[in-house]
Amino acid sequence: MKKILVIHTGGTISMTADSSGQVRPEAVNPMLAVSPSLEGVELINREPFHLPSPHITCDHMLQLYGLIREMAEQIDGVVITHGTDTLEETAYFLDTMAIPQIPIVLTGAMRSSNELGSDGVYNFLSALRVASHDKSADKGVLVVMNDEIHAAKYVTKTHTTNVSTFQTPTHGPLGVIMKHDILFFKAAEQRVRFDLKQVKGLVPIIKAYAGMTGELFSLLDPDQVSGVVIEAMGAGNLPPEASRQLDKLLQRQIPIVLVSRCFNGIAEPVYGYEGGGVELAGKGVLFVKELNAQKARLKLLIAINAGLSGQALRDYIEG
């Protein structure tokens, strides 16, 4: 008998639509009453909080990490039900922590429990199947939605309402859920992991745009921010006036991490004009490979709280 820890946190999967069509949380999470019959599987339910996912913070993510670590010796896998707006961030955060080498799966729903075609219970059952499958162990944190299995590092929400919203650009999913089996056709890469007790600091995300000047960067107080993530253009470029304003932050040893605002591809220093990636890298801006801005922010926060600086910080951020 496999014991699966089920952690319910809220989100659309636990909400209902009222007569006017507004989707709201229930006072009691209806997922607590859902217990799919799965042969050879015993569920251990926990509900540390019951929140819409835009309310989730790093402290909540740390709470989930602590619960998993606390229960690790008693369980064979974990399923977390979660709102979809920040699901990929919680998944990435947990995937960067010192988690046990058991299947850890996040899932959610795009349609509330009383909507026609609700996908919550089906996704929950699919997640339980993956979490209890022998081949799912030691693959890092997984996201299971709409019959697909995705790696936490790469998956992202791509549509506001579509049930197939979670996709992995460039790579595609790690595997698929069949009627009677689970098929993995890719392996998740190894991860540098940290055992943190707190995550503190302010790391804003600033998106580049045509005609951008330096005002947004000049508004940042170097005594208040721990770092900055820039969602730059193309392969990693900024308008020249915006690029010039970075010097003041870099002189104060504020780490600046760059990703691309493009949906696919990798940010890298290619262009040699003013504001181009080559100049930015030369100034000390750090280029992140294959993470979107919200995950790059978490990566930088985790690195700072782990005490990384200088070359160690560069190696981790750019690795």
pLDDT computed for residue 307 by the predictor: 97
Q: Which residues of the chain have pLDDT under 50?
A: none
User: Which residue matches tokens 């000049």?
Assistant: 218
Distances 298 to 48, 86, 88 between C-alpha atoms, Å: 22, 12, 11
Of 156, 128, 153, 186, the C-alpha closest to 2 is 128
Q: Which residues are catalytic?
A: 12
Average pLDDT, the chain: 95
CB 303 within 8 A of CB 319: no
CA distance 184 to 174: 6
Per-residue pLDDT tens over the stretch 211-262: 999 999 999 999 999 999 999 999 999 999 999 999 999 999 999 999 999 9
CA distance 231 to 310: 22
Q: What is the pTM of this model?
A: 0.95
User: Which residue matches tokens 């995950």?
Assistant: 295
Per-residue pLDDT tens over the stretch 148-173: 999 999 999 999 999 999 999 989 99
pLDDT computed for residue 228 by the predictor: 98
DSSP structure string for the chain: -EEEEEEE--SGGGEEE-TTS-EEE-SS-GGGG-----TTEEEEEE-S----GGG--HHHHHHHHHHHHHHGGG-SEEEEE--SSSHHHHHHHHHTB---SS-EEEE--SS-TTSTT--HHHHHHHHHHHHT-GGGTTS-EEEEETTEEEETTT-EE--SS-TT-EE-TTT--SEEE-SS-EEE-S-PPP---B--S-------EEE--TT--SHHHHTS-TTT-S-EEEEEBTTTB--HHHHHHHHHHHHTT--EEEEESSSSS-------STTSHHHHHHHTPEEPSS--HHHHHHHHHHHHHTT--HHHHHHHHH-
Q: In sequence order, what are the residues at sequence separation of 6 or more whose Cβ sits closer than 8 angstroms to the Cβ of residue 19?
A: none
Percentage of the chain with pLDDT > 70? 100
CA distance 103 to 124: 14
CA distance 279 to 181: 50
Q: Sketch out the chain's domains with CATH numbers.
A: 2-184 (3.40.50.1170), 205-318 (3.40.50.40)
- Phi then psi for 286, rounded to 5 degrees? -95, 130
CA distance 235 to 265: 8
pLDDT computed for residue 183 by the predictor: 96
pLDDT computed for residue 115 by the predictor: 82
